[in-house]
Amino acid sequence: MRVRLAVVLTLVAAALTVVSAQTDATGRWNMTISTDQGDLPTTLTLQQEGEALSGSMASDQGTVEFDGGTITGNKLAWVIEVDAGGQFFEIAMDGTIDGDEMTGTADFAGQAGGDWTAKRSQ
């Protein structure tokens, strides 16, 4: 019985190691944020340290850096603060990573929203 339990625990630990290796978000991503006002191509650059996520989002409207994001399993979340002509508001980004692809939603300070997709840049 103890041998069987040890084998099961070893298999579970191996499976968890494989899953966490697949959720590395570090790198550069080609991102598109889709809203009612159109699509916004963005370059997303992420750094991951354990479950901590930081990075930047760059588009033709400028670059915004962020930290304090999280990645747990295959779920990501971060918030950026945007200056809209002297008025600041937050955009909350939530998503899921699957290998070299991500999908998610953006909440524009509760005023609007949209979906986003991203592919890892090669």
Q: Which pLDDT value is given to residue 111?
A: 85
Q: Which pLDDT value is given to residue 1?
A: 59
- In angstroms, the Cα distances linking 107 to 14, 62, 81, 110 are 36, 19, 12, 6
Q: How many folded domains does the chain comprise?
A: 1
What would the pLDDT profile of 64-107 be if each residue is shown by its tens digit?
Answer: 999 999 999 999 999 999 888 888 889 999 999 999 999 999 99
Q: Domain of residue 58: give its range.
A: 2-120
What would the pLDDT profile of 49-58 be if each residue is shown by its tens digit?
Answer: 999 999 999 9
Residue 10's pLDDT band, with cuts at 50, 70 and 90, is low
Distance CA 119, CA 24 (A): 13
Average of per-residue pLDDT across 16-35: 78
Q: Which pLDDT value is given to residue 90?
A: 94
**Rama region for 65: left / alpha / beta (φ>0; ψ in -120 to 50; rest):** beta
Average pLDDT, the chain: 86
Which regions of 38-100 does DSSP assign to beta strands (E)? 38-49, 52-59, 62-72, 75-84, 87-98
Q: How many Å separate Cα 54 from the centre of its chain?
A: 9
Angle at 8 between CA 2 and CA 10, to 5 degrees: 100
CATH number for the domain including 70? 2.40.128.120
